[in-house]
């Protein structure tokens, strides 16, 4: 299993968290513990199918883990691991954009941030995006973010 692209992970996390229904699902799981889609559908004002769809996306982002239980039951529980990558990504962006604010931020979040600072230069551009013409930023932000969706 190759190491996941931090930016892709961050993107998935951001997309997941940008949607209120999904934050609601995550919150319900965090507060009440692992639950099935049916459980969640009884707790939240959307249907089981909608919940399932969201859970699939959340699982793809790594923010929930599916654990098969008794019968056909599948319980989902929250998983904080991808958050670290998303946090790193944000921290790197903030640091890059505004050195002063980033330093302040670092001092404020010194106890929360557990990801090491990405001090290295830009990663190599992905070979499958040849139309990229924006040079990679000197920070951890990679040229991969120049990847445009091919339609």
Partner DNA sequence: TTCTATCGCAACCAGACAGTTGCTATAAGC
Partner DNA sequence: GCTTATAGCAACTGTCTGGTTGCGATAGAA
> In the complex, what is the shortest distance from the CB of residue 133 to a copy of itself, in angstroms, rounded to a whole number?
6
The burial of 87, by beta-carbon neighbours within 10 Å (0-12 exposed, 13-18 middle, 19 or more buried), is given as middle
**Residues 99-126: b if buried by 16+ CB within 10 A, e if exposed:** eeebeebeeeeeeebeeeebeeeebebe
Pull the structure tokens for residue 132: 């990229």
Which parts of 23-62 interact with a copy of itself (CB under 8 A)?
23-24, 26-28, 30-34, 43-46
> In the complex, what is the shortest distance from the CB of residue 121 to DNA, in angstroms, rounded to a whole number?
26
Residue 89-128 contact track with DNA, rule CB under 7 A, x = bound: ----------------------------------------
Residue 44-63 contact track with DNA, rule CB under 7 A, x = bound: -xxxxxx-xxx--x------
Closest CA to 58 of 104, 23, 98: 23
- Contact call for residue 126 and a copy of itself (CB under 8 A): no
């Amino acid at each position: 299993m190759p190491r996941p692209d931090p930016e892709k992970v961050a993107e998935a996390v951001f997309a997941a968290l940008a949607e209120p229904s999904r934050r609601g699902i995550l919150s319900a799981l965090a507060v009440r513990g692992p639950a099935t889609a049916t459980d969640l559908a009884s707790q939240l004002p959307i249907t089981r199918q909608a919940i399932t769809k969201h859970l699939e996306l959340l699982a793809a982002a790594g923010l929930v883990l599916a654990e098969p239980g008794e019968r056909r039951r599948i319980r989902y529980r929250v998983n904080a691991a991808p958050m670290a990558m998303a946090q790193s990504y944000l921290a790197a962006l903030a640091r890059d954009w505004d050195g002063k604010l980033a330093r302040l931020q670092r001092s404020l979040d010194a106890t929360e941030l557990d990801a090491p600072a990405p001090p290295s230069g830009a990663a190599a551009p992905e070979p499958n995006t040849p139309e990229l013409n924006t040079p990679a930023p000197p920070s951890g932000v990679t040229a991969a973010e120049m990847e445009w969706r091919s339609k």
